[in-house]
Amino acid sequence: MIERKQTNRINVGSVPVGGGAPISVQSMTTTKTADVDGTLAQVYALAGAGADIVRITCNDVDAAKGLAEIVPRSPVPIIADIHFQYKLALAAMEAGVQGLRLNPGNIRKEDQIKTVAREARDRGLPIRVGVNAGSLDKDIEAKYGNAVPEALVESALKEIRYLQDVDFNDIKISVKHSNVPLMVESYRLLSDTVDYPLHLGVTEAGPPPGGLIKSVAGIGTLLMEGIGDTIRFSLTADPVEEAKAGRQLLEYLGLRERKGLDLIACPSCGRAEVDVIKVATDAQAALEAENLPIQVAVMGCVVNGPGEASSADIGIAAGRGRGHLFIKGQVVRVVPEDEMVEALLEEARALVEEGIDARLAKADASAAAEAEKERIQLVEIRGDANNAAAKKAKVEEITSN
């Protein structure tokens, strides 16, 4: 069980962040904000993929005008991303956004920052102090010579003091770095220093699969340590992939209730009677299209499959020309090999609709016995792939002497 650090709570529109609230998923649109319909279409796609909050750039007057049309029609809270022009932050607030992201490295005039903070305070809107290794406060960068964790945190604290000076405290912070170990150390230091909620991310992570690996390594490490209140995967890819990945990570760590598919599969071995990779790929595509919130297992053989994956809601294990469909480890049905994916999808739908107990009650009474018979036959044909019998005998010999 992950014990999360208790931070202050803020609200981004209807989404609470920090203070024990569920960790939220964020992403950012890649459309031109002035393209209202195109941007809204992407916002809806992101929300459907699991994003709780969406950030949209406000880089010119036309973008601010676009926000005025986008925000009232958005299914999730919108944060305006502000760079250089503080008046665009004021314009975005007037357009109705639910929060701002300011980069300390590029709005540097204290009076301008405080003007924005006063307006946000009066409107009850939060601000993310978004520190980036690539755009540090120039004085701080010169002091440390590089974007080390201490430099990122000091930059954040300097900005926070400007906000606090005008009695503004609806703050969340990020200290993103493209170097995973430095990103992790920066957030650890920040977490030890402040009680504001933290927005986690590896900046400029790049395209998948590398970008996914870096993001999971950095964000996942911190989440396991109880650090972090909202997350964003920064991928060079369709932002929908960011939202999906963020949501999946939280579900896999038990930090959010499962709303989507969790497919597990064995790596296959010489005992497999089918192309496990193809079956798993086909099953994932079919099940993801249904967006079923269950854990599904695809196992290469019936010898160990149902037992090894008994914690899965539903699964299928390959036999000789057949598939053994199981629910919570109990074989409930045997189907022809060419119908494995279709049968799995059909049973998964029924499972979600009727529940596990109801589907187990409808199990084919002969299926379990048939699976056991085939398991024994396969062991005889293929042998003991793990050489377990000989190893157990050796263990007994060693311990009995």
Q: How far is CA 229 from CA 27, 49, 157, 288, in A?
A: 14, 19, 18, 27
In three-state secondary structure terms, 34 is coil
- Per the CB < 8 A criterion, the answer to whether 310 and 332 are in contact is no
Number of neighbours of residue 207 by Cβ within 10 angstroms: 11
- Per the CB < 8 A criterion, the answer to whether 156 and 171 are in contact is no
Smallest Cα–Cα separation from 10: which of 74, 83, 98? 98
Residue 165 neighbours by CB under 8 Å, 6+ apart: 114
CA-angle at 82, arms to 79 and 85, nearest 5°: 150
The predicted-structure confidence for 40-56, as pLDDT tens digits, reads as follows 999 999 998 999 999 99
| Distance from the Cα of residue 193 to its chain's centroid | 26
Q: How far apart are CA 57 and CA 63, in angstroms?
A: 7
The CATH number for 10-252, chosen from 3.20.20.140, 3.30.200.20, 3.20.20.20, 3.30.390.30, is: 3.20.20.20
Residues of the chain with pLDDT under 70: 270-273, 304, 378-389
Task: Give the relative orientation of helices 110-123 and 86-95 as an angle to the nearest 10 degrees.
Answer: 10
The residues spanned by each domain of the chain are 10-252, 262-382
Return the pLDDT at 390.
Answer: 74
The predicted-structure confidence for 93-116, as pLDDT tens digits, reads as follows 999 999 999 998 888 899 999 999
Superfamily holding 262-382: Sulfite Reductase Hemoprotein, domain 1 (3.30.413.10)
Same fold, 10-252 and 262-382: no
Model confidence, pTM:
0.84
301's tokens? 């053989």
